[in-house]
Amino acid sequence: MKKPSRRLVTIIVVVVLIILALCVARSRGKDAPTGLDAAGKQACDDFAAGYPKASTKPERLTLADKVTKSSGKTGNKEIQERAADMGQAASAGGSEWKTAAENLTAACKKAGWTAP
């Protein structure tokens, strides 16, 4: 049996390395935030509209339910996580609520959202 040429072996190695690089790049992309999809925009819009009015615990919890419902449908992991953090802070209020609100707003802006 004839040995494969060096050129053929080199081509095969290069092709395998390209395939591996593509696989790694795609797997990393799954965890990264995506742009702003319709559900993410809805969550950001709902939050922006409701945040100034959510001064009591029941109002904060109602807003958190609405926003987390929309954010649960987005492909943007950062918006999902920040909305969940905001939902957890809704009960406590105070500085925790304010920080969570700022973080969610920042995630929305990072995804390309602009306030209506």
List pLDDT tens digits, range 15-46. 666 776 676 666 555 544 578 999 999 999 99
| Token pair belonging to 64 | 């958190």
pTM over 0.75: no
Note the maximum CA span of the chain: 82
pLDDT the model gives residue 27? 59
**Token pair for residue 5?**
């040429």
Is residue 77 within 8 A of residue 33, CB to CB? The reply is yes
Q: pLDDT tens, 71-96?
A: 999 999 999 999 999 999 999 899 99
